[in-house]
């Protein structure tokens, strides 16, 4: 298909030149004919052009061919009726023909030269090379960044194709996610160039192809090699989840290998953002790698479906086959939903323990990423740079490499402007050059974000927690440490607390009790799921008291919203969701959507009182 398209493209380019040459010749001969007094000589010249036009019948695109012949035949007709026109009238006619022909030439250039001219204009910093492949929305080409000399991959997305397939949101989501991410095992997006007709994604060039092809060529891998790939995959997936992104389409075809056989996770088009208290429902991804809850159309939080896909990938690495495979899709879905598969005898005991824990049908009982990181099979031969938590994205941009910065300045980029662009994550010629040089050096050192660099960053983070006074950053970093498990081994802390309200009662009974309590508090609600409600509460101002801190607390029954001036300022909107926990309890979680925080806290206290929670 690619060869046929390339041949078609070359043929069309070849056809464009004779078209414009013929029309230019028409203009020139028309002007010459206008200067001749002898009508017969003019007719002979026009006859020659008509003959030439017919000879190039199959070399000229339809619109220009018909237009050119029309003008020439009209000119020939005028010359046949020479006696009806004087020289000045004929000269005026030739000028009209000349103008129209020039207009046709401009249309031809716009139609056939748009792609090449726009690419040259917008991609002036790159030297385009051969096509690496053809995707859903366009081609992927190799290119050279002229300033640094490093290779990049340019993904061309045609806007018309994107609109025709109703995929604008998918493309925008992938671009937004890739702009955010900076991880050694996630493909890097350096720059986005948008034109009226196309979107150009300037991405990291990965030359060794897909992990899928590697498995097909090599067969089942030795456990050490498979473990190395798996460790890199888990590191990248963990980074996604820490940034509240679930990939949802993990498979060997979406895992590329660089020149040193390091994993690069690609294709975030089906990914989505995870929100606290909200579930996803979209059934997407490849069926062989999709989790049971996904193909069943059930609600899922997000991270657990990626764990399942990683389990299928690990099985494929170690066995060179898929755990769930069937040409008949209903049969395939049945196998996935029931978790029916076999473990080959050649697997080690630790591998035979890890895979079944990842391929558990019940997502609540499935192993998590932090637990995978603590599994003995995963910890064996773990590289130092993967043994520590990856730096937070917002802090990575604050760490500027002075050596790389000086190298970019030597290329002619203003240093102060570059520092400002790096800190504010602005895409320009300087930042693209900086990250290309940085990535190339780190790849050459066989470590994108080495352990030494990360440990230094972690030291910087500790100082920031002490002196910067940034609670959001402190909360973020504590989450990274807690999820990673390294610090928990050194300082074990018993989990004696839980978020929300927990109960061992039947979920229907829990919901009835909660709804009764909300009714007592004059809270209106609307069902949006089986165990999920959206609620609205308007407090009463008939009486209130203040505590020692001067914070007002309102009491009494709710009043009619329509009787209260400025009532909309005090409306509290929230959701509550009932979850099933790992120890077979049910947890009630409340999440504020809109309103004053203190009013929401008062409502929570009143709800606890109604439920008689101690």
Give the residues across from 142 on adjacent strands: 153
For residue 483, what pLDDT is reported?
Answer: 37
More confident residue, 508 or 310: 310
More confident residue, 516 or 494: 516
For residue 133, what pLDDT is reported?
Answer: 81
For residue 327, what pLDDT is reported?
Answer: 87
Q: Which tokens in the block code for residue 255?
A: 């895992």
Average pLDDT over residues 234-251: 87
Dist. CA 111–CA 105, nearest whole Å: 10
* Band of residue 384 on the pLDDT scale cut at 50, 70, 90: confident
Inform me whether the pLDDT recorded for 351 exceeds 90.
yes
- 3 state SS for 520-547: HCCCEEEEEECCEEEEEECCCCCEEEEC
Which class is domain 126-204? alpha beta
Q: Which tokens in the block code for residue 200?
A: 């150009």
**Tally of CB atoms within 10 A around 536:** 16
Q: Which tokens in the block code for residue 264?
A: 């690069």
**Whether residue 86 lies in the annotated active site:** no
Inform me whether the pLDDT recorded for 151 exceeds 90.
yes
Q: Which residues of 436-456 are buried (b: 16+ CB within 10 A; e: fewer)?
A: bbbbeebbeeebbbbeebbee
**Tally of CB atoms within 10 A around 230:** 24
Q: Which of 50-64, 101-115, 164-178, 574-588 has the highest mean pLDDT?
A: 164-178
3-class SS of residue 167? coil
Lowest mean pLDDT among 63-67, 245-249, 387-391: 63-67
Dist. CA 353–CA 349, nearest whole Å: 6
What's the distance, CA 256 to chain centroid? 16
Asked whether the beta carbons of 320 and 222 are under 8 A apart, the reply is no
- Please report, rounded to a whole number, the percentage of residues in the chain having pLDDT higher than 90: 25
Average pLDDT over residues 12-17: 40
**Residue 57 Cα distances to 22, 32, 77, angstroms:** 11, 24, 21
One CATH from 3.40.718.10, 1.10.3720.10, 3.30.310.80, 3.30.2420.10 for 501-611: 3.30.310.80
Tell whether the torsion through CA atoms of 117, 123, 124 and 128 is positive or negative.
negative
Q: Which tokens in the block code for residue 29?
A: 């001969």
**Matching fold, domains 126-204 and 501-611:** no
More confident residue, 172 or 348: 348
Residue with tokens 């009982």: 365
More confident residue, 27 or 316: 316
* Band of residue 80 on the pLDDT scale cut at 50, 70, 90: low
In sequence order, what are the residues at sequence separation of 6 or more whose Cβ sits closer than 8 angstroms to the Cβ of residue 26? 49, 68, 71, 72, 97, 101
219-387 is classed CATH 1.10.510.10: yes
Q: What is the pLDDT of residues 573-598, one digit of tens each?
A: 888 888 777 667 787 888 888 888 88
Average pLDDT over residues 278-302: 66
Residue with tokens 């989840």: 241
Tell whether the torsion through CA atoms of 426, 429, 432 and 438 is positive or negative.
negative
Asked whether the beta carbons of 503 and 586 are under 8 A apart, the reply is yes
Q: Which tokens in the block code for residue 581?
A: 């926990």
**Per DSSP, which regions of 219-329 are E strands?**
245-246, 255-257, 263-265, 272-273
More confident residue, 528 or 419: 419
In sequence order, what are the residues at sequence separation of 6 or more whose Cβ sits closer than 8 angstroms to the Cβ of residue 565? none
For 201, phi and psi rounded to 5 degrees? -100, 115
260 marked among binding-site residues: no
Q: Which tokens in the block code for residue 275?
A: 């929100």
For residue 479, what pLDDT is reported?
Answer: 34
* Band of residue 256 on the pLDDT scale cut at 50, 70, 90: very high
**Residue 468 Cα distances to 163, 338, 471, angstroms:** 46, 51, 9
What are the domain boundaries of the chain?
2-113, 126-204, 219-387, 501-611
Q: Which tokens in the block code for residue 254?
A: 């979406």
User: Can you state the angle between helices 87-122 and 2-34, rounded to 10 degrees?
Assistant: 150
Asked whether the beta carbons of 460 and 399 are under 8 A apart, the reply is yes
Question: Residue 372, class by beta-carbon neighbours within 10 Å (0-12 exposed, 13-18 middle, 19+ buried)?
Answer: buried
Average pLDDT over residues 255-280: 70
Q: What is the pLDDT of residues 154-182, one digit of tens each?
A: 999 899 988 888 888 888 888 888 888 88
In sequence order, what DSSP letters do the residues of 353-410 get, joined into one string?
HHHHHHS-SSTTTSPPHHHHHTSHHHHTT--HHHHSPPPPHHHHTT---HHHHHHHHH
The overall average pLDDT reported for the chain is 72
Q: Which of 118-132, 230-244, 284-298 has the highest mean pLDDT?
A: 230-244
What's the distance, CA 261 to chain centroid? 23
Asked whether the beta carbons of 302 and 280 are under 8 A apart, the reply is yes
Inform me whether the pLDDT recorded for 38 exceeds 80.
no
User: Can you state the angle between helices 451-467 and 471-484, rounded to 10 degrees?
Assistant: 140
For residue 543, what pLDDT is reported?
Answer: 41
Residues present in the chain in total: 614
* Band of residue 116 on the pLDDT scale cut at 50, 70, 90: very low
For residue 540, what pLDDT is reported?
Answer: 67
To 5 degrees, how large is the angle CA 2–CA 191–CA 153? 30
Q: Which residues of 276-308 are buried (b: 16+ CB within 10 A; e: fewer)?
A: ebebbeeeebeebbbbbbbbeeeebbbbbbbbb
Q: Which tokens in the block code for residue 220?
A: 């089942």
Give the residues across from 588 on adjacent strands: 501, 578
Lowest mean pLDDT among 65-74, 546-555, 581-590: 546-555
Dist. CA 312–CA 300, nearest whole Å: 18
Average pLDDT over residues 30-53: 56
Query: Rg of the chain over CA atoms, in angstroms?
Result: 34
**Residue 175 Cα distances to 130, 134, 202, angstroms:** 24, 19, 11
Straight-line distance from the first to the last Cα atom of the chain, in angstroms, rounded to the nearest whole number: 70
Q: Which tokens in the block code for residue 65?
A: 């061919």
Q: Which of 286-300, 338-352, 481-495 has the highest mean pLDDT?
A: 338-352
For residue 23, what pLDDT is reported?
Answer: 52
Asked whether the beta carbons of 203 and 155 are under 8 A apart, the reply is yes
Question: Residue 209, class by beta-carbon neighbours within 10 Å (0-12 exposed, 13-18 middle, 19+ buried)?
Answer: exposed
For residue 245, what pLDDT is reported?
Answer: 84
Q: What is the pLDDT of residues 437-480, one digit of tens each?
A: 988 887 777 554 444 444 434 443 333 333 333 333 333 333 33
Average pLDDT over residues 3-28: 44
Tell whether the torsion through CA atoms of 144, 140, 303 and 263 is positive or negative.
negative
* Band of residue 64 on the pLDDT scale cut at 50, 70, 90: very low
The catalytically annotated residue of 249, 258, 306, 392 is 249
Average pLDDT over residues 380-389: 87
Dist. CA 88–CA 319, nearest whole Å: 87
For residue 297, what pLDDT is reported?
Answer: 72
For residue 407, what pLDDT is reported?
Answer: 92
């Amino acid at each position: 298909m690619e060869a046929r398209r390339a041949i078609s493209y070359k043929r069309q380019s070849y056809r464009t030149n004779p078209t414009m040459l013929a029309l230019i010749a028409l203009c020139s001969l028309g002007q010459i004919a206008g200067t001749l007094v002898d009508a017969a000589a003019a007719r002979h010249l026009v006859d020659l052009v008509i003959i030439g036009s017919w000879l190039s019948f199959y070399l000229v695109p339809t619109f220009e061919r018909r237009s050119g012949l029309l003008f020439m035949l009209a000119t020939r007709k005028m010359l046949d009726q020479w006696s009806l026109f004087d020289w000045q009238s004929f000269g005026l006619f030739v000028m009209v023909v000349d103008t129209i022909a020039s207009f046709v030439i401009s249309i031809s250039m716009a139609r056939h030269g748009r792609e090449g001219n726009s690419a040259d204009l917008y991609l002036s910093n790159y030297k385009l090379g051969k096509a690496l492949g053809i995707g859903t929305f366009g081609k992927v080409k190799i290119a050279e960044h002229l300033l640094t000399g490093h290779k990049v991959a340019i993904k061309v997305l045609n806007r018309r194709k994107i609109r025709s397939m109703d995929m604008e949101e998918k493309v925008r989501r992938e671009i937004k996610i890739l702009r955010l991410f900076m991880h050694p095992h996630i493909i890097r997006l350096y720059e986005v160039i948008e034109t009226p007709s196309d979107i150009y994604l300037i991405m990291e060039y990965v030359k060794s192809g897909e992990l899928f092809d590697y498995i097909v060529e090599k067969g089942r891998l030795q456990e050490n090699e498979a473990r190395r790939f798996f460790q890199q995959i888990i590191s990248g997936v963990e980074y996604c989840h820490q940034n509240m992104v679930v990939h949802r389409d993990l498979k060997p075809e979406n895992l590329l290998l660089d020149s040193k056989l390091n994993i690069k996770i690609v294709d975030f088009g089906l990914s989505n953002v995870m929100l606290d208290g909200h579930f996803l429902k979209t059934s997407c991804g490849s069926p062989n790698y999709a989790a049971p809850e996904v193909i069943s159309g059930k609600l899922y939080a997000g991270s657990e479906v990626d764990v399942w896909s990683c389990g299928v990938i690990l099985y494929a690495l170690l066995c060179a086959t898929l755990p769930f495979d069937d040409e008949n899709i209903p049969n395939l879905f049945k196998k996935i939903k029931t978790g029916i598969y076999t473990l080959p005898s050649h697997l080690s005991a630790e591998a035979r323990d890890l895979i079944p824990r990842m391929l558990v049908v019940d997502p609540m009982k499935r192993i998590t990423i932090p637990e995978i990181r603590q599994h003995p099979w995963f910890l064996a031969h773990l590289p130092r740079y993967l043994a520590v938590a990856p730096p937070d994205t917002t802090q990575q941009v604050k760490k500027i490499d002075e050596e790389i910065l000086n190298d970019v300045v030597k290329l002619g980029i203003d240093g102060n402007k570059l520092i400002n662009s790096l800190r504010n994550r602005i895409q320009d010629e300087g930042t693209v050059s900086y990250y290309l040089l940085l990535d190339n050096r780190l790849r050459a050192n066989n470590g994108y974000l080495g352990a030494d660099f990360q440990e230094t960053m972690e030291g910087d983070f500790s100082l920031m927690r002490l002196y910067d006074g940034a609670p959001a950053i402190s909360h973020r970093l504590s989450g990274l440490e807690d999820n990673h498990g390294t610090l928990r081994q050194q300082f074990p802390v018993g989990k004696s607390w839980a978020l929300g309200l927990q109960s061992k009662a039947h979920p229907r009974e829990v919901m009835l009790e909660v709804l009764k309590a909300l009714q007592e508090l004059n809270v209106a609600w609307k069902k949006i799921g089986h165990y999920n409600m959206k609620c609205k509460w308007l407090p009463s101002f008939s009486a209130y008291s203040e505590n020692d801190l001067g914070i007002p607390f309102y009491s009494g029954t709710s009043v009619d919203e329509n009787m209260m001036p400025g009532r909309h300022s005090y409306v509290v909107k929230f959701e509550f969701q009932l979850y099933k926990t790992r120890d077979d309890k049910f947890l009630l979680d409340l999440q504020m959507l809109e309103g004053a925080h203190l009013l929401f806290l008062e409502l929570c206290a009143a709800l606890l009182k109604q439920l008689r929670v101690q």
